[in-house]
A and B are shown apart, each in its own frame.
Chain A
Amino acid sequence: MPEVSYVQVIWTTLAVFFTLFIFSFLYKDNPLYKIAEHVVVGVSNGYWMILLFRDTFKPLWLDPAWNLVSGKGLSAELTIFVLVNLVFSVFMLLRLVGGNAALLSRWAMAVVLGVSAGVLIPLSVQTYMYEQLKGNVLTFGAFPFPFVSVVSQTAFNNLLIIVGSLSGLAYFFFSKEHKGVFGGTAKLGIWFLMIGFGATFGYTVMGRLSLLIGRIEFLRDWLNMIF
């Protein structure tokens, strides 16, 4: 066991108390859990405020704005950027004032939503559709593998992925009635989807259990540290 300072012991003990406060919820909702819950809301809000200020607001706006104010000189592009952002940031904060001034926050909101939605149009086609379909085409072309094997990539596996993803998409297509061949394909799709959901569930449970083991190990390490 490496040497630990008394400061580290105190902080770790504090973390242990918070861990036990959260676990106390397994019995029922209680004041100790509520304390830990309010602590985490307060701390995480403070954390995000610092993170956004230091990593986003300061380098992107405050530093160039300071250069502009202190007369160090700024390019025309950066000067426009600083001024436009100042206007929209003030507009956003006018929501706190209320009344007619608060309506200006919609302008800032419009920029955020418009830019985000506009960027997402080509991006969603590229990543969510084109790349996924490209994956199907590539696996379809990869046929020199053995036909059936559980442990290696095979033509059978590739075929299953193609059939599964296409039939799964057919299940989500509600503009056509699920009857006949299309209905059969949709039914096959729901089978694949259920296997997918089951696998995701199992994977999530094991992920949470791994976290639980981590927390129990943390408590064990603390006991070793104390005694």
Chain B
Amino acid sequence: MRKEIPLVIMVACGVFMAIQFFVPHELPALIYQNLNKTVQVVGAVALVLGIVSLLSLHFAKINRRQPGYGYSYILIAFFFMMAASGFLPAKVNLGSFLGTGDRVEGSFYLNLYNYVLTPVQATMFALLAFFIASAAFRAFRARSVIATLLLLTAIIVMIGRVPIGPFVLGDWISDLADWIMAVPNAAAKRAVIVGVGLGILSLSLKMVLGIERAWLGGGR
């Protein structure tokens, strides 16, 4: 019964959610709304599992004095700072530097968001520009017709999207880049999207019909 009961719950929920789409009645619509909210609530609670797991990993690292354990102090400190900033009562004032407890401009919460989280994440993504360029330099070789097509399209789109492209080569390069994005790219994307849809459909059907059971784990 360790696996059968969860399987029955999943099949019941899955079949109901798929069928209710075709039943124009208030009751299935009401259950649908509440089940959707349940997924949101349980999903939010599941984040606690992730956070406990992350913190226990770093506390264990500190306890064992593993290499680089000093960074774990930083992670834990910033986690608690951010979490505390979100739960502070609105009336609290932490001083002119840290800010207030609410969520308006100048609050501790928004200061951490605007001056720590946003710049670091944006810079990490910006850093990818260098790695993508170096990977492309090594990987892009005109070895075959299709590899040449990929290379040429990438070059045209890149040159056509910056002001220097039309400035040096004329407006046709940006028109061509726009045409590639709007026509052959749309055709390829459409084929990929339909393929992705078929993949999602088959995986969902496998789960709802109880064929896919990897989520139950391989243990008892």
Say whether A43 contacts B198, CB under 8 Å: no
Say whether A195 contacts B201, CB under 8 Å: no
Contact of B86 among A49, A88, A128 (CB under 8 A): A49
State in angstroms the CA–CA spacing of A110 and B216 once bound together: 9
State in angstroms the CA–CA spacing of A44 and B77 once bound together: 12
- Mask of B18-58 contacts with A, CB within 8 angstroms, 1/0: 10011000000010001111111111111111111010000
Nearest B residue to A202, CB-CB: B157
Q: Chain B contact residues: over half helix, strand or loop, or mixed?
A: helix
Contact of B192 among A7, A190, A193 (CB under 8 A): A193
Contact of A208 among B45, B112, B129, B176 (CB under 8 A): B129
Would you call A142 an interface residue if the criterion is a C-beta within 8 Å of the partner chain's C-beta atoms? no
State in angstroms the CA–CA spacing of A95 and B47 once bound together: 12
Nearest B residue to A25, CB-CB: B127
Which residues of chain A have C-beta atoms less than 8 A from B42's C-beta? 85, 88-89, 92, 108, 111-112
Which residues of chain A have C-beta atoms less than 8 A from B175's C-beta? 150-151
Would you call A215 an interface residue if the criterion is a C-beta within 8 Å of the partner chain's C-beta atoms? yes
| 17 A-B contact pairs sorted by A residue (CB < 8 Å) | A40-B124, A41-B54, A43-B79, A46-B80, A60-B40, A85-B42, A109-B215, A110-B9, A115-B36, A117-B10, A118-B13, A121-B205, A128-B197, A128-B201, A161-B187, A194-B146, A205-B132
Would you call B152 an interface residue if the criterion is a C-beta within 8 Å of the partner chain's C-beta atoms? yes
Say whether B151 contacts A115, CB under 8 Å: no
Say whether B117 contacts A44, CB under 8 Å: yes
- Mask of B113-154 contacts with A, CB within 8 angstroms, 1/0: 111111111111111111011001000000001110111111
Say whether B46 contacts A205, CB under 8 Å: no
Nearest B residue to A187, CB-CB: B146
Contact of B82 among A11, A12, A47, A157 (CB under 8 A): A47
Shortest CB–CB separation between residue A20 and chain B, in angstroms? 9
Say whether A172 contacts B195, CB under 8 Å: yes
Q: Which of A129-165 contact B (CB under 8 A)?
A: 129, 132-133, 135-136, 150-151, 157, 160-165
Would you call A203 an interface residue if the criterion is a C-beta within 8 Å of the partner chain's C-beta atoms? yes
Which residues of chain B have C-beta atoms less than 8 A from A162's C-beta? 187
Would you call B12 an interface residue if the criterion is a C-beta within 8 Å of the partner chain's C-beta atoms? yes
- Mask of A43-68 contacts with B, CB within 8 angstroms, 1/0: 11111111011101100110000000
Which residues of chain B have C-beta atoms less than 8 A from A107's C-beta? 5-6, 9
State in angstroms the CA–CA spacing of A166 and B187 once bound together: 8
Which residues of chain B have C-beta atoms less than 8 A from A212's C-beta? 126, 129
State in angstroms the CA–CA spacing of A26 and B114 once bound together: 24
Would you call A218 an interface residue if the criterion is a C-beta within 8 Å of the partner chain's C-beta atoms? yes
Interface size on B, residues (CB 8 A): 131
Say whether A11 contacts B115, CB under 8 Å: yes
Shortest CB–CB separation between residue B73 and chain A, in angstroms? 9
Which residues of chain B have C-beta atoms less than 8 A from A30's C-beta? none
Which residues of chain B have C-beta atoms less than 8 A from A93's C-beta? 45, 48-49
Would you call B104 an interface residue if the criterion is a C-beta within 8 Å of the partner chain's C-beta atoms? no
Contact of B78 among A12, A43, A54, A133 (CB under 8 A): A43
State in angstroms the CA–CA spacing of A89 and B37 once bound together: 12
Would you call A101 an interface residue if the criterion is a C-beta within 8 Å of the partner chain's C-beta atoms? no
Which residues of chain B have C-beta atoms less than 8 A from A150's C-beta? 172, 175-176, 179
Q: Which of B189-220 contact A (CB under 8 A)?
A: 189-198, 200-201, 203-205, 207-208, 215-216, 220
State in angstroms the CA–CA spacing of A111 and B13 once bound together: 6
The 8 A-B residue pairs with the shortest CB-CB distance, nearest first, are A128-B197, A196-B188, A164-B187, A168-B191, A118-B17, A46-B82, A50-B86, A198-B153
Say whether B9 contacts A161, CB under 8 Å: no
State in angstroms the CA–CA spacing of A52 and B36 once bound together: 15
Contact of A111 among B39, B187, B201 (CB under 8 A): B39
Say whether B150 contacts A194, CB under 8 Å: yes
Would you call B7 an interface residue if the criterion is a C-beta within 8 Å of the partner chain's C-beta atoms? yes
Say whether A56 contacts B74, CB under 8 Å: no
Say whether B204 contacts A117, CB under 8 Å: yes
State in angstroms the CA–CA spacing of A93 and B207 once bound together: 23
- Among B112, B204, B207, the one with the most A-chain Cβ atoms within 10 Å of its Cβ is B204
Shortest CB–CB separation between residue B54 and chain A, in angstroms? 6
Would you call A223 an interface residue if the criterion is a C-beta within 8 Å of the partner chain's C-beta atoms? no
